[in-house]
Structure 1
Amino acid sequence: GDDSMPTFTEQIQNVTVTVGRDALLACQVDNLKKYQ
């Protein structure tokens, strides 16, 4: 699937902005490292 690619999930929209930004950045960076 596309799980290995850095993408945004709908669940993030349900997270608060403050927590969401930290969680999103952490997940995105991790995915980017694996993708590259």
Structure 2
Amino acid sequence: MLETLSRKQLGKNLSDSFEINRVDAVRRLDRRKSGWLA
């Protein structure tokens, strides 16, 4: 399946998912921080 993707498309998907994971982690961290402060 991965072979059908072009290298460029694959790179874009990887960076997109990395960005989503980073935003997710920041949200979780913020929630934890506000939990500590509350």
TM-score of the aligned structures, taking structure 2 as reference length: 0.47
Higher helix share: 2
TM-score of the aligned structures, taking structure 1 as reference length: 0.49
| Structure with more relative contact order (C-alpha pairs < 8 Å, separation 6 or more) | 1
